[in-house]
Structure 1
Amino acid sequence: MTVWISTARAINKTLSGREQFLIQLQHNIEEVLNGDSTATLEYIDQRMAELQEKLVMCVNKNAEYDVIANEIDALREKKAAVVTKDAEQEMLKKRIEEMRQFLQTQSSRVTEYDEQMVRRLIEKITVFDNKLIFEFKSGMTLELKR
C-alpha cells in the first residue's frame, strides 16, 4: 500500500471519528490556553524596571552592579523565551482551528489523494516497515498498519 493511499485512509479515519477527534482538539486548545503567559510577562517587565532603577542607583554610588546587571540579562532572555512560546502557541491554536473547521465542513470521505489537503492538515508522516504514523498539524497523531 502506498503512502498516498494510507494518507487518504488516515484522513478518512479522522473524519469517521470526527466527534472524538473534535473532543481531542478542544482538549489541545485548552492545554495551549492554559499556558497563558501574560502574568509572567508583566512580572518580568515590572522586575526589570525595578532592577534598572537599582542599577542606576548603584552606578551613581560607584557600587557593585554586576549582580543586578546579570539578573536583568537573565530576565531579558526569559522574556524572549516567553514571547517565542506565545508565538508558537498562537500558531498551534491556528492549526487546531483549521483542523476543527475542516472536520466540521468535510461531508464526504476522501476518495483520492489531494495534495493541498494533505499539506494543510498533515505535518509529518513517519514510515516504518509495518506501520505509518501521521502527525497532523493540530498535534494529533494517528498510526496505521501497513
Structure 2
Amino acid sequence: MEEIDKEMLKVQEDLVKVANAKKDYTDLANRVEDLRNEKEKILLNVAKEKNEQSRLMELEEFLDNQELKIESYDEELVRKLVEKIVIYEENLKEVFKSGLEVEIEN
C-alpha cells in the first residue's frame, strides 16, 4: 500500500506540473484515479480479512468454551456456527459463519 501512496504522490506532483504548464493532463488524471481505486480495493480487502479473522477468533473462543463431546443435536451450536445449508440434487453445501464451506455428497 505504501508503494501505491508513493506512486500516487509522484503522479499527483506530475499532474500539477503539467496542469501549470497548461498541457494535456488527462492521462495523469486517469492514472491518479486508477491508483485511488486500487488503494480502495486493497483497503476493502484488508478490512474483509480482519473481519474474517475476528469471526474465526470468536468461533474458536466459542468452541473452546463448549463441551468436548457432542452427543446430540445442539440448536445453539448450529446457530452459532452455520450460516446456511444449500441443498442440491446430488449433494449438500454447508456454509459456516467463518466462511468455510463443506460439500457433503449423497
TM-score range, shorter chain: 0.7 to 0.9
Matched, 1:70 2:30: yes
Structure 1 stretches (4+) deviating beyond 4 angstroms?
A: none
If asked which structure has higher relative contact order (CA below 8 Å, sep 6+), I would say 1
Partner secondary structure for residue 124 of structure 1: strand
The equivalent residue for 2:70 is 109
Pick the aligned partner of 1:50 from 2, 10, 14.
10
The equivalent residue for 2:56 is 96
> How far did residue 145 of structure 1 move?
5.3
* Percent of paired sites with the same residue: 31
Larger proportion of strand: 2
Give the unaligned 5+ runs of structure 1: 1-40
Residues 53 and 133 of structure 1: CA distance in aligned 2, closer, same or farther (over 3 Å): same
TM-score after normalising by structure 1: 0.62
CA RMSD of aligned residues (A): 2.1
TM-score after normalising by structure 2: 0.82
Q: How many residues align?
A: 105
Pick the aligned partner of 2:20 from 54, 57, 60.
60
Residues 91 and 110 of structure 1: CA distance in aligned 2, closer, same or farther (over 3 Å): farther
* AA at the equivalent of 2:79: R
Give the unaligned 5+ runs of structure 2: none
* AA at the equivalent of 2:72: T
